[in-house]
Amino acid sequence: MRSDLNAQTADDIRYDAALDAVDWSRLIQDLEADDFHNGRTPVELEASFRNSEIVVLAWSGERVVGTARALSDGVCNTYVIDVWTQSAHRRRGIARRMMQAIEDAVPGQHVFLTTHDAAHLYEALGYERDGVGFGKVVGLWLGRFPPRPARVP
């Protein structure tokens, strides 16, 4: 159920689901610069995206400036993760377009996500607070790091 964006464009940003042109090392550098990197190697980051049901990338030229992906059972539940827009490109509707592409791919499904610092964005997109999320790292994070401490709101 990959997103069928067919390389839509808006302003100078191009949206698509193709992963072959991604420079995963460069993307990690950009994620790190925005304090959004969670320790995945380039190979692990690529695997995360390739193993997702839905992927949306925002491109400015040859550079990825936004990501969003979702896991879905294809019936009633979708979980959105890795929604990121590079700092220099924020407040231009990029995250909104990526989220819309995910929603368009899963009509009739319950779309769920968690966020640590962007509740205002998702509320503006019509999302409502939905219960309490829980998380647990089983063993070592990514098989090599001690579990990260929980974020305090």
Q: Are 48 and 12 in contact (CB under 8 A)?
A: no
User: Binning pLDDT at 50, 70 and 90, where does residue 1 land?
Assistant: very low
Look at residue 2 and tell me if it is in a domain: no
In the chain, DSSP finds a helix count (H) and a strand count (E) of 4, 6
- Where in the sequence is the domain holding 100, given as residue range(s)? 8-124
Distance of CA 50 to the CA centre of its chain: 12
| CATH number of the structural domain spanning residue 61 | 3.40.630.30
Higher per-residue confidence, 63 vs 148? 63
d(CA 53, CA 70): 6
Per residue in 92-143, pLDDT (tens digit) is 999 999 999 999 999 999 999 999 889 999 999 999 999 888 887 778 777 7
In a domain, 99, yes or no: yes
Evaluate whether residue 67 is within a structural domain. Answer: yes
Q: Is residue 153 included in any domain, yes or no? A: no
Give residue for tokens 């709101």. Answer: 153
Place of tokens 């999302």: 127
Amino acid at 38: N
pTM, 2 dp = 0.86
How many structural domains does the chain have?
1
